[in-house]
Amino acid sequence: MHGKKKKKSWKDMTPGQRVGVLVVGAGQLALLVAAQRSISKTPAAQIRGNKAVWRAASFINFFGPLSYFLFGRRRGTA
C-alpha cells in the first residue's frame, strides 16, 4: 500500500500531538476573534478595503486574520 497516507484520528494521536492540535486550534480561534472584534470596532475609514471582505477573509485559518492585522488596517497619524 504505497502513496496514500491515512489521516490520524484523535484516538490515534499521542497525548503530545493532541495537546499540539488543541494549542494550534486555540491560537487560530483567538486570532479569528481578535480580528472580528477589531473589524467591528474600527471605523471603515481606517480599514483598507471593504469590512465585509476582511470579515470573510479572517475565517481563512491563520492567513486571514494575520493578513488583516498586517495589511487591512490603515496606520493612523496621531
Q: What is the pLDDT of residues 59-76, one digit of tens each?
A: 999 999 999 999 999 986
Would you mind telling me the total number of residues written for the chain in this entry? 78
Give the CA dihedral 73, 70, 60, 56, nearest 10 degrees: 10
pLDDT at 2: 62
Is the pLDDT confidence value at 1 over 60? no
Task: At 1, list the grid cell.
Answer: 500500500
Q: Which residue has the higher pLDDT, 78 or 36?
A: 36
pTM comes to 0.81
Q: What is the mean pLDDT of the chain?
A: 92
Is the pLDDT confidence value at 54 over 70? yes
Give the 3-state secondary structure of residue 40: helix
